Amino acid sequence: MELQGKVLVAQGGGPTAVINQSLVGVVLESRKFTQVTKVYGAVNGVRGIINEGFLDLTQETTHNLEQVGTTPSSGLLSTREKPDEKYCLEMFRVMRAHDVRYFFYIGGNDSADTVRIVNEQAEKAGYEFRAIHIPKTIDNDLVVNDHTPGYGSAARFIAQAFIGANLDNAALPGVYVAVIMGRNAGFLTAASAVARKYPDDGPHLIYLPERPFSVEQFLKDIRARYDRFGRCVVAVSEGIVDSDGKPILTKLVDRVERDAHGNIQLSGTGILGDLLAQQVKQHLNIKRIRSDTFGYLQRSFFGCVSDVDQHEAREVGERAVQFALWHNLDGSVTIHRTGNYSVDYRLSPLGEIAGKTRTMPDEFIHDEGNDVTDTFLFYVRPLLGSGLQSPHRLRAPRVAKILKKEE
């Protein structure tokens, strides 16, 4: 017997350039099924559910949904709230009152945990209900998945930004340090390696949170690259830690900001980049030193979206609906690489995803801990999509000097 009732879809956590593709995939696919009476969207994620802040997406035009699908950031807006058992019980109470029988939540590992708890509440109450988590995160840190929607576009931004940074640094040589998002996983920072085309291209050094960071070794590495190339471009993950697992930021500054959850504020401050640049100024005799922090630009950048990322984000939304309505299943949609390049979508148990964090595997990281391997480049390139721009250099020979001949 078909389970009849409403669909509710929500978005949680940080926005991405393609999260709306998943939203549109859920809405359009749901509207094909006769047992779906309405399709609701929760404004501001789980907070919107608690407050009954719903949009009736059954009445949204297909044309406008497609336009929203190609627009970055969260069309339904988002929230950083992490629901506990009590919170999820209230969510379930609201959904039950509105006859919601299908719940789709687009987000990261915390969102998967929310779906798991709400689903357990429905089971305890004997309420017929389907709940599916749809993957999303630019950090690419969801376990089981080969990669996650949102990462490909953010990685494309990082790669292209470093192409520009490297060209700038080649024109006016010096040391350039860029700090990139990634508290525990270095996938985004690693994508900077795609910028390299010629043997002397940067980034010349890449530091990830998966390997202990030493300021002393950092300075030695820069000295060696600078002496070799006459310049040095560096990519650093915001979450780099020392050999004891202590954030480097806490070793370079006396007081640090913390977010609402008590975590050290890493993104959007610019402090780490400034402090690392200061270390280079103090200890190395190099005049031109610059630093940048890639805070939030890559999350919802309009002009740098991977078409592969877009297509997969749409499909995970569609497949979530198919798993729930065709097959009566709960779980988390996961992406699995099946070829070079192709993927398949499967449904994994929520308990395997919820609350867990994936990090860069050893085979992706260079033995010295300051670069990535060709294995990583083979992994990441298809995710960046088509039409990635490539720089070129002048190849004309130099003209012989007349007045400035060497004696």
- Catalytically active residues are 139
The β-bridge partners of 105 are 10, 133
Sign of the four-CA dihedral 139, 343, 133, 43: positive
Instruction: Give the number of other Cβ atoms within 10 Å of residue 312's Cβ.
Output: 25
Q: Give helix 85-97 / helix 109-125 axis angle, nearest 10°.
A: 60
Q: How far apart are CA 154 and CA 220, in angstroms?
A: 30
The token pair that represents 308 in the structure block: 């592969």
Instruction: Give the number of other Cβ atoms within 10 Å of residue 249's Cβ.
Output: 22
Residue 37 CA to its chain's centroid (Å): 34
DSSP codes joined into one string, 188-252: HHHGGGGG--STTPSP-EEE-TTS---HHHHHHHHHHHHHHHS-EEEEEETT-B-TTS-BHHHHH
Q: How far apart are CA 299 and CA 172, in angstroms?
A: 29
Q: Give helix 215-229 / helix 271-283 axis angle, nearest 10°.
A: 70
Cβ–Cβ < 8 Å for 22, 134: yes
Q: Which amino acid is at 175?
A: V
Which residue is associated with the tokens 């002393």?
Answer: 216
